[in-house]
Amino acid sequence: MDKLIITAAIQGAELTKKDMPHLPVSPFEVAEEARRACNEGAAVIHLHARDKNGNPSQSAQDYEESIEAIRASGCRAIIQVSTGGAVGMTAEERIGPLTLRPEYATLNTGSVNFGRDVFVNSPDVIEGLAKAMNQYGVKPEFEIFEEGHVHNAMALVKLGLVAAPLNFDFVLGVPGAMAPTARNLVHLVETIPAQTNWTVAGIGRHELPLGGMAVFMGGNVRVGFEDNIYFSKGVVATSNGELVARIARIAKEAGRDIASPEEARRILGLGA
Ligand code: KMH
Ligand code: ZN
């Protein structure tokens, strides 16, 4: 098995400080959380940005401020910007952080009910984002909330818009989307081509069991406040680092080494 790549989704776009007092919002807070996650073994930081009022933002400037603060903190992890943004943002808005030419970005390959909202990713939006990633030299990670999203991702490969190595993130347990079951995870893994990198992001209390499964199955794991704020039932995590550290401990018991950012870059095909 390859070394385990841990992604820390430290903030997300939907949560507020009211929901989660430890949520990092300002660039300084984001950098501190990124540093804690890095110190515990995260090789990838999945990043959203906020504006000065703490609202979700896809502006290149807001991303740049957080990225500069993260680098100043000493965290050398791969920074994966979001092109999902927040529900309701336009496709043009969502392209914002790509103009910074980051090495890695999410690419959502289908629409999905998202709680009471609908996260819209029409074929035109998907292809537009894939083309923008080519234009700015950014490697995508496909965000998969439903099985059909895998087929949409493979259509982009067929069109020549995304090249191997392919990287998938299975997000399981969003209310309204694919259920967070072992059977669904195995099914999705069997649906993608062999020798393809995959990560699982389990939502809420499903983060830990699905992450544990991925460790033993040879996949990678995403944890963090964007997906789950609890360390255990009723106990809120005080830092993303706690969630990363637990996965790193499980990996150690499983005899699986943790990938450094440099090793993760090679596995994920970044900077190629
Ligand atoms: N905020 C969600 C609607 C991504 O980062 O690409 C979408 C999301 C996915 O978070
Ligand atoms: Zn996200």
Q: Which residues surround ligand 2, an ion (CB under 5 A)?
A: 82
Tell me, in angstroms, the distance from the centre of ligand 2 to residue 13's CA.
Answer: 7
This prediction has a pTM of 0.98
- Ligand number nearest to the C-alpha of 224: 2
Provide the pLDDT for residue 272.
63
**Residue 269 scores a pLDDT above 90:** yes
* Rounded average pLDDT over 235-264: 98
- Ligand number nearest to the C-alpha of 84: 1
Q: Which pair of structure tokens corresponds to residue 103?
A: 């090495």
Report which of residues 1 and 267 the model is more confident about.
Answer: 267
* Nearest atom (ligand 1) to Cα of 108: 6
The pLDDT tens digits for 139-168 are: 999 999 999 999 999 999 999 999 999 999
* Nearest atom (ligand 1) to Cα of 12: 10
- Looking at domain 6-268, its CATH architecture is Alpha-Beta Barrel (3.20)
3-state secondary structure of 78: strand
Provide the pLDDT for residue 1.
87
Size of the chain in residues = 272
Domain-wise residue ranges, the chain: 6-268
DSSP 8-class letter at 259 = P
The Cα 166–Cα 33 span in angstroms is: 28
* Mean residue pLDDT across the chain: 98
- Which residue out of 44, 82, 94, 169 has the highest number of ligand 1 atoms within 8 Å of its CB and is therefore the one to mutate? 82
Ligand 1 proximal residues by C-beta, below 6 Å: 12-14, 82-84, 86-87, 106, 108, 114, 119, 143
Provide the 10 A C-beta neighbour count for residue 261: 18
Beta strands, E only, 131-182: 139-144, 167-172
- Ligand number nearest to the C-alpha of 111: 1
Model confidence at 271, in pLDDT bands (50, 70, 90)? confident
Handedness of CA 22, 206, 77, 11 (dihedral sign): negative
